Chain A
Amino acid sequence: MFEQIKSYVDAAVDFGLKLEADYVIARGIDRTTNQIRFSQNKIDINKEWQIHLLELFTVVDGSKIAVGEFSPTSEENVRKRVEAQIKFAKKMAPSPQFQSIEKQISKYSQIDGLYDPKIVDYREKAPEVINASIQEAQSAGAKRVAGSFFFRDNYFYLNSSSGPKGEFSTSFYNLTVRAFQEELDASGQGLACGTIPSSAEKKILNASKKAGHYSKLHLGAKQAKPGIFDIIMAPAVAANLLGNIPEMANPLLIMMGMSALGDKMGEQMGPEFLSITDNGLLTDGLGSSPFDFEGTPRKNTPIIDKGVLINYIHNTSTSALVQSETTGNSELYDFGIGTKFLTPIGTNVVFNNGDRSFEELLEGSGKPTVFVLCNWYTRFTSRISTEYSTIPRDAAFLVENGELGQPVKNFRISDNLLRQFANIDAMGNDRTQIKWWEVEFPTWIPTIRVKDCRITTATQ
């Protein structure tokens, strides 16, 4: 089925070597992504992206790098694109960051549940699932329901001139559902994601029910008051905020001034009951795969161990620069502004599960406490000092007598992320996978309570 893209990938590597490239990595992708968007209780649009892509990484003259991608149409087309890319690479200056690529040929682990064999048929079924999801949110109290439902079917084939070669298929689904009352500011959110869409209906309906339930519970929200509060962060909030810290354990971000962890190796950053790994082999993980872009097997790399920063993620080049080993995190990554380059990138960020039930988290310390279901628009004054603010959206409540009390609205969390990370004081036992608009890397995280956070509000 994928013989054509495989032959183009192999041809690209052969052409590159004939043109005296030092290294060539080619990866073919056959991908179909679908999305159903809905709002006001109805489907707005049904989308599909058909992608037939060849990604190409080339190194010439020792360390002159060029990266390209194109949709291959024939061997001749592949030859021309490889030739053009190598010509372009020869005009580059040597990259001081490039050291090498993976040379070890490995046997790759099989990851259970990475691919849904029923995904092709699922395209027919998906609109029904979404209509059921809308009804579920309405039954739970929503007046208006909006959302986005993605699912994807992926095939990858990799061939590296240094030896590694392999193929795998993945699939995923990802639902964001938001429920509203008639009022603009009474809303709730539900999220569901995983790798097997055809068996996800229950999770999808539960997410919708949760969104509807919280939107109703949030009716009558009052203006929050500024001050210092303990904040109980639902997993979506914890992933967007606290998840930043392990994501910053990346040499590229440190180099670019986008990480607070450049001088923190070996430091106690969080409580002793907190450990975080980057796990590229996790069952049901949206970031899982058998190997990375260089063909290095994925690993489960501890980043924070008992609160101490112990590792950065690496690819072959960044690890060689610090006399370390690759962690199997090499990817061609698009920084969001159209520029793709080879860099270490996280797979699944995995927080350890906690030991507290939601009710136990609510019991708290007796200090003023707020529960926040969702947030968005997190912006930093400086990524190094981590001063930031973010805006809770959807349901938020004061915690009163160990229970969710008065719903509140219109406030910001304006604080310092490093300080909040150190101030984590309890973790729930409800760890779940989060990936949505505000959480780029799949993050497995429970509800987390953080003490002494600053809340601000509009002054007029």
Chain B
Amino acid sequence: MSFSKDLAEYGISLAQENGANYAEARVVNGKKIIYFLQNGELISGSELKTQGIGFRVLKNGGLSFVSVDEPTKKAVKQAISAGLKMANSSNPKEKIDFGEPVSNKAKWAVPIKEKITNIDSDTMLELLSQMDKVAENHNISSRANFFEAHSTQKTILTSEGTNIEAELSMLKFFSIITAKGLLDSEQRWVDLTRSTGWEGTKTWIDEYNDQCAQLEKVAAQEDYRLNGKVDFVVGPEVVGIICHENAGHPSEGDRIMGREGAQAGESFWRDLELGKSRVGSEHVTVLEDPTFPGTGGYYEYDDEGVKARERTLIREGIIHEPLLNREFGVKFGLGTNGSARSSDYNREPIIRMANTYMKPGDFTIEELIEGVKHGIYMLSFTEWNIDDRRYQSKYVGFECYLIENGEISDTMVRRPIMELTSIGLFSSIDGVSKDLDFDFPGICGKSDPSQGVPVYAGGGYLRMRDIRLG
């Protein structure tokens, strides 16, 4: 027995009949195959049916969310009754407004060639076994590998007439690999998430091989460190995390206006002016775009049924556009830009990133390197964090090489630390390459209870001048 549109429509009607100004249902029916392997040995597996409805109800300016996992009219009735009561009792001092009605109707699907549901378990396990051998061949002593294949039907219905039906397909491979190093144990968290059919796994062995080779190299490096001021040329993985943390998160409208205050925090953008405040050099343009098929952040319509589009967060160094859902679109007076996502039926849709990246510039990678007399070529990072206003960030280099007199040397630099403010970081950039790679797939966590949503981030290569190492 699965959740039907009828049950969702029943819940919405019930809410309207009982005075709701707005009601919305997110119906999810899905299947997940999951395996956990340690050093190639299968520890556990699951074949799960995931199903449920999440309702949001707006009544007298008060908002509620209620989810139910039992696909019966009785359970839905109970959920709507609780939702109406909660919306009423929240009695907000400032009434919540979703703005102009939205009534989109569409069907969309993740483009796929091979349906995940047609793949048998032997094929999946054979791939995972081959991937483990790849890691073993790189002398990686501990390999904890998690695999998930999701296929999901999601329908969004609202009392305003929105009806969006989506067919989703997601593959996740997440690996914690540890190698005994010359100086210390070295670890890397590998994430190969993608929104594709089974064909998305065709490159997994090569991609995993690259990641394992990188760990092997780092584990073998000597203790060569740099001090003082250096230039950096950083690769797409590092550019990705910078765009995500220093530009994407502070641009979230709910943070800027304080709604995430107790959890994910606020934003240094609160005290800046859109279209006027400079946070970086003219080379810095950071874009957000959910509409790249295949990426972790891919969607055509957001979880409020709004059509997805590209957003320009920072244009030539100046903050330009925050990420907004319907509620915060009203508060900013800009309208929604399709940024509402919920990680599952049992989470409220909130403002999230999707795919965040640095707009390609005019340089080649060679030109960026040529201009560096003494610096670091940083291809990847390990430990990182940023404060909850998204202003003070730290990135520790993982695979890094010394640049001398315009050439990348074979000398590896151990764990250089870039501990910078967001403005200090973006202002130091004097060149961005023409490339665009989404080399940083990840699960972005936000809110309480936490909502981990797949995102991608990336860019090309960029050059940063005169960075004092931490």
A residues neighboring B (CB under 8 Å) = 34-53, 65-71, 73-74, 77, 81, 84-85, 88-89, 91-97, 124, 127, 144, 146-148, 176-178, 180, 184-185, 255-258, 335-342, 376-385, 387-391, 393, 410, 412, 414, 437, 456-460
User: Contacts A50-B69, A385-B184 known; A380 to B41 CB distance under 8 Å?
Assistant: no
- Cβ of B122 under 8 Å from chain A: yes
Question: Is B34 at the interface (CB under 8 A from chain A)?
Answer: yes
A48-B83, A97-B38 known; A341 vs B44 contact (CB < 8 Å) = yes
Partner among B90, B125, B450 whose Cβ is within 8 Å of the Cβ of A36: B90
User: Contact partner of B383 among A89, A146, A388, CB < 8 A?
Assistant: A388
Contact check, A39 vs B260: say whether CB atoms are below 8 A apart. yes
- Other A-B pairs beyond A146-B259, A257-B185, A460-B424, 20, CB < 8 Å: A40-B257, A40-B259, A41-B93, A46-B87, A52-B70, A52-B75, A71-B51, A73-B1, A127-B89, A147-B262, A255-B142, A257-B177, A336-B450, A338-B148, A380-B383, A382-B184, A389-B394, A390-B385, A459-B420, A459-B468
* B111 contacts partner chain A, Cβ-Cβ < 8 Å: no
Instruction: Let me know if B348 and A381 touch, CB within 8 A.
Output: no
Chain A residue at smallest Cβ distance from B79: A50
Decide yes or no: A92 and B186 within 8 Å by CB, A42-B92, A43-B91, A45-B65 being known contacts.
Answer: no
Whether A379 contacts B384 by the Cβ 8 Å rule is yes
Most buried by B among A44, A77, A390: A44
Find out whether the CB atom of B47 lies under 8 angstroms from the CB atom of A383.
no
Q: Are A410 and B385 in contact (CB under 8 A)?
A: no
Residues of A within 8 A of B251 (CB): none
A39-B48 in contact given A45-B348, A46-B64 (Cβ < 8 Å): no
B292 sits at the interface (CB 8 A): no
B72 at the interface (CB under 8 A from A): yes
Q: Does B363 contact A (CB under 8 A)?
A: no
Binds A, one of B263-271, B372-380, B433-441: B263-271
- Inter-subunit contact B144/A184 (CB<8 Å): no
Q: How far is the CA of A178 from the CA of B303 in the complex (A)?
A: 28
| Distance A389 CA – B177 CA, assembled complex (angstroms) | 20
Report B25-39 residues with CB < 8 Å from chain A CB: 32, 34, 36, 38
> A176–B89 contact, CB under 8 A?
no
Distance A53 CA – B79 CA, assembled complex (angstroms)? 16
Is B204's CB within 8 Å of the partner chain A?
no
Chain A minimum-CB-distance residue to B382? A381
**In the complex with contacts A41-B93, A43-B91, A382-B184, A50-B144 CB distance below 8 A:** no
- In angstroms, Cα B176 to Cα A371, docked, is 34
- Residue numbers of B with Cβ under 8 A of A are 1, 32, 34, 36, 38, 41-49, 51-52, 62-72, 75, 78-79, 82-83, 86-87, 89-94, 96, 121-122, 125, 141-142, 144, 146, 148, 172, 174, 176-178, 184-187, 257-263, 265-266, 268, 270-271, 346, 348, 382-389, 392-394, 396, 415, 417, 419-421, 424, 428, 443, 448-450, 452, 467-470
Q: Are A84 and B186 closer than 8 Å at their CB atoms?
A: no
| Distance of A146 Cα from B260 Cα, bound (Å) | 8
A381 lies within 8 A of B419 (CB): no
Nearest CB of A to B260, in Å: 7
Residue in contact with A46 in the complex, picked from B42, B62, B67, B268, CB distance below 8 Å? B62
B44 touches A88 (CB 8 A): no
Chain B residues with CB under 8 Å of A34's CB are 86
Given contacts A47-B65, A95-B43, A391-B386, contact A338 B34 (CB under 8 A): yes
Name the residue on B nearest A66 (C-beta): B45
Q: How far is the CA of A88 from the CA of B47 in the complex (A)?
A: 7
Shortest A232–chain B CB gap in Å is 20
A384's closest neighbor in chain B, by CB?
Answer: B185
User: What CA separation (Å) do A148 and B447 show in the bound complex?
Assistant: 10
Which of B42, B44, B186, B415 has most A Cβ within 10 Å? B44
| Cβ contact of A50, chosen from B67, B386, B421, cutoff 8 A | B67
Contact of B71 among A40, A71, A88, A127 (CB under 8 A): A71
Least Cβ–Cβ distance between B227 and chain A, in angstroms: 11
How far, in whole Å, are A257 and B396 apart by their CA atoms in the complex? 20
